[in-house]
Amino acid sequence: MKNEIEIPQQLSALREFTAARIAIGRTGNSIPLKQSMEFKLAHAHTRDAVYSTLDIDGLFTRLKVFGFPVLHLHSQAANRHKYLKRPDLGRLLDDDYKYQLNGNIAKPDIAIIIADGLSAEAVNGNAYSLLKILIPKLLDAKLTIGPICLVEQGRVAIGDDIASGLKARFSILLIGERPGLSAADSMGAYLTYNPQPGLTDESRNCISNIRKHGLSYKHAADKIFYLVSESFRRKLSGVGLKDNAGLLGES
């Protein structure tokens, strides 16, 4: 006799609103085979995302269309193994790359930094599409933008090190977020006013889950631009700066 997959009726309707594993059903006391295999596949995608690498050549080609210099930088974590074992090294720019920042004398309003984080796959797939909408907004607001920085083996705080070296007033750091079992390609944006080495997370604002099947590029760009504008107006970022723009409409 074939076992029927049982799905709790009160939960099944919620599945259309989330990719989380709810109402997957059961066969006897076990998870159904199909759902069990899907879980293992998602786990494999997650591991692959953690060990993915920045597409430096592809990003260089796409980012150059904006007309800004593109810098290739590296943290003090020499490789992925060191990056995962020593988070502190991923927060600091390697000394051998600091000379690239010293040549910048423009003192821009905005430093845009793209780091691999825990999913280079996320920024490979999402960073350009977001910036294509965001950069024109920043330029229309008469904000100046410095070199776009690509950082290998970088963590969030490395944005402070780089933006301070560029003498930028504000940093926008795009980084691959820790992959989950329902999203291995999620990108986050961290926004910091007056970035300086030594700042901690309460000094920044974060917008997360930027991806095709998460927060759309248009909505993310709108939120980032709102927070940038408010940050310059109030001269702060982080816990003191709230998103009071209300819910954004559907694109």
* 225 lies in some domain: yes
* 169 lies in some domain: yes
| More reliable by pLDDT, 22 or 174 | 174
Q: Are 37 and 82 in a shared domain?
A: no
Per-residue three-class SS string for 108-155 = CCEEEEEECCCCHHHHHHHHHHHHHHHHHHHHHCCCCEEEEEEEECCC
Query: Which of 1-5, 20-24, 36-40, 44-48 shows the lowest mean pLDDT across its residues?
Result: 1-5
Q: Are 94 and 175 in a shared domain?
A: yes
pTM of this prediction?
0.85
The residue range of the domain holding 24 is: 9-50
pLDDT in tens, 199-239: 999 999 999 999 998 999 999 999 999 999 999 999 999 99
Q: Are 67 and 28 in a shared domain?
A: no
| More reliable by pLDDT, 9 or 240 | 240
Spatial contact of 110 and 130, defined as CB atoms under 8 Å apart: no
- Check residue 246 and give its pLDDT: 62
Q: Are 64 and 44 in a shared domain?
A: no
pLDDT in tens, 189-201: 999 999 999 999 9
- Check residue 250 and give its pLDDT: 43
Q: Are 83 and 187 in a shared domain?
A: yes
Question: Residue 178 is encoded by which pair of tokens?
Answer: 């820790």
- Residue identified by tokens 């010293």 is 102
Question: Residue 110 is encoded by which pair of tokens?
Answer: 């905005």
